[in-house]
Structure 1
Amino acid sequence: MARIVLIEDSPTDRAVFTQWLRKAGHEVLEADNAEDGLQLVREQLPQLVLMDVVLPGMSGFQATRAMARDAATRHIPVVIVSTKAMETDKAWGLRQGAADYIVKPPREEELIARINELVV
């Protein structure tokens, strides 16, 4: 279906999300930090990026903003998946350029449905 870059530093979350996405027919490319993830995005130009917020080094908010400001990547939707559950966090993520914001832990059906809305 779609090529998705998953930027997530938790090996457990990365494995679970990758399994769900592949089961739904998506191709998944993984990175465990924002810097490597942005490089992957620029090289692969995926249909969507699934991004954690709390990452080593650059945050997911900063990476989302960087993608939104780059002409080569601004068209790629970013879905933030984070433990940061405050409405202010969600508003900030959307302000940085995210297309959607999902609070961890998501249900598999919800995550896949919201991603499919953006890529199908």
Structure 2
Amino acid sequence: MTDKHLVLCVEDNPANMRLVEQILGQFPEVELIGVDSAESGLDAAVKQQPELILMDIHLPGMDGYQALAELKAKQETRHIPVVAISANAMDTDVQRGLSVGFDGYLTKPLILQEFMSMIRTQLKLG
């Protein structure tokens, strides 16, 4: 059994994925699994049971909203908090995200302090 906090990041843009890796690298107690599609994210969520999922909204194939609905519909994954990460930064976008069940909504470009604070809160880190 590992004492690491497992975070799944579903992001199709390699530069954005690297940024998330760099930021989470500042938390030695966090282990990141990165996938580049909602479909592989759903598989990884069931198999790996992460403590937190970071979900891009704009993905090839299934989008982040559809993926969230699938996660919430499955007994094995409905308890996992899912935070949206999106370039859609209008208040209406954020409200829509939160109203459909995302546990948080971060906008791109990511604001370092906001992102780190969300990670600390969601994973209950000191």
Alignment TM-score > 0.5, same fold: yes
Pair 1:11 & 2:52 matched: no
What is the TM-score of this pair, normalised by structure 2?
0.90
Q: Does structure 2 retain, via aligned residues, the 8 Å contact 1:68–1:96? A: no
Q: For residues 65 and 42 of structure 2, what CA distance do their matches in structure 1 show?
A: 12
Match 2:31 to one of 27, 33, 57 = 27
State the identity as a percent.
37
Moved more, 28-37 or 104-113: 104-113
C-alpha deviations, 1:15-73, integer Å up to 9, x for none?
11011112222100010010001100110000000111000000011111111121111
Match 1:112 to one of 100, 106, 116 = 116
Moved more, 88-97 or 16-25: 88-97
C-alpha deviations, 1:58-112, integer Å up to 9, x for none?
0011111111121111110011110011222212212222100011111222101
Q: Does structure 2 retain, via aligned residues, the 8 Å contact 1:79–1:99? A: yes
- The count of corresponding residues between Structure 1 and Structure 2 is 120
Q: For residues 81 and 12 of structure 1, what CA distance do their matches in structure 2 show?
A: 14
Instruction: Specify the code of the residue in structure 2 equivalent to 1:14.
Output: M
Instruction: Specify the code of the residue in structure 2 equivalent to 1:96.
Output: V
Query: 2:9 aligns to what SS in structure 1?
Result: strand
Task: Spell out structure 1 runs of 4+ moving beyond 4 A.
Answer: none
Q: For residues 94 and 70 of structure 2, what CA distance do their matches in structure 1 show?
A: 17
Query: Please, which runs of 5 or more residues in structure 2 have no aligned partner?
Result: none
Is the radius of gyration larger for structure 1 or structure 2? 2
Alignment of 1:60-79 (within 5 A): 60-79=64-83
Moved more, 63-72 or 5-14: 63-72
Instruction: Specify the code of the residue in structure 2 equivalent to 1:66.
Output: E
Alignment of 1:81-120 (within 5 A): 81-120=85-124
